[in-house]
Structure 1
Amino acid sequence: MMPLTVLLVDDEPLVRVGLRAVLEAQPDIAVVGEAADGAAVIPLVRQLRPDVVVMDVRMPLMDGIEATRTVLRTIAAPPKIVVVTTFENDEYVYGALRAGADGFLLKRSRPAEIVHGVRLVAEGDSLLFPAAVRELAASYGRQHGNTAARTVMERAALTDREGEVLRLMARGLSNAEIAAHLVVGTETVKSHVSSVLAKLGARDRTQAVIAAYESGFVSPG
């Protein structure tokens, strides 16, 4: 089986060394490259085609927000993106999630949490910390929430069950946990999630949850 490939992007060499050591201790993960700034991400992604980019959210030349936005705009079949940060309640993190990042990790996370997070997004799930995302939405979501966000939600015309699934997604529940909560099959939940994403025009669960907060469909409180 081919290993899961990762590109590390951080302006602190010691952080990159630490992340490499943690990830390469796993037999199924290979770090295929490193960069010290977001400006170097595009050529490296084109050259190396990593499955996941683990990227610092704050960097001197091009930060993680703009790098995420550029990758998703210019790369066909882009990699998954996880941003790393020192502080969870960081406007840069919210900006990166809005730009399309699949989730975030704290630099103080335990090695097992980092490995789990990288594997999770590689499998197509979103890496959300419900309490942290609620705090981010409470702090910054209102600044971005507007009539356009509400219009998107209204036009989506979610069914009652789809709305229920979206609210559970916003709580950070996985498909299996949502299935157990609603007493339905996991495949049924996957179908509802796919429908929600399609109706909202969302790239992934993270984008759907942000849309739910910014439109007022879900309250941070």
Structure 2
Amino acid sequence: MITIQQLKKSYGQQPILYLPQWTVQQGEQVALLGPSGCGKSTLLHLLGGVLAADAGSITINGQTLSTMSEAARDEFRSKHIGYVFQDFYLIPSLTAKENIEWALTSQERGSAMKRKQLIEQWFERVGLSDHMNRYPSQLSRGQQQRVAMIRALIHTPPLVLADEPTGSLDWETASHIMQLLLELSKEHSMTLVTVTHDLHLAELYPTTVQMKEINELIKQPAQKGVLV
């Protein structure tokens, strides 16, 4: 699903990432771990095509992002990648259901009846059937994150990227949300890459990767001049 070769990224004069090689298999569930400044969120945004690499190649699902224009990366992301953020980015003036309907408007999902059934199935799956018509302000933070997860996953993208999806939640809610994300991605054979700083939550994942294992710039920070 993911193949990286000689990937480099800097911010101004500050090198952030150098990954000689890294691969993630189709359907794999990976937790990326590391301290602030180690490049894990930068890597996630490179995988999502939000950022462009300075050098090297990123291949996602057989397509090379590093040769795409920004517009092409945006189109690729909308069709092939689901994003789950720490902040939910729900539209406050729309109900939970309307937030999902809005996300589906540009997708080919058949008749209105099929779209309605699809949305209802996903709300039932995350345990929010009785909350579809509530506004974000009427939902708890954990419930808002479940709605945001529906928005990211309802298209069943081959790749899901999650950036600290439980960072603003209490421990019990965070554990439930992370387990649900793992279950949903597995049910639909989605590859999942999650950035987290929480070692306990990372233990839920079949595969954990420390950034220092793959980012050459933080293996020897004193020589490379990188803050970690």
Pick the TM interval, shorter chain: 0.3 to 0.5
For CA contacts below 8 A with separation 6 or more, give which structure has more relative contact order: 2
Larger helix proportion, structure 1 or 2? 1
Larger strand proportion, structure 1 or 2? 2
TM-score, reference length from structure 2: 0.33
Q: Which has the larger radius of gyration?
A: 2
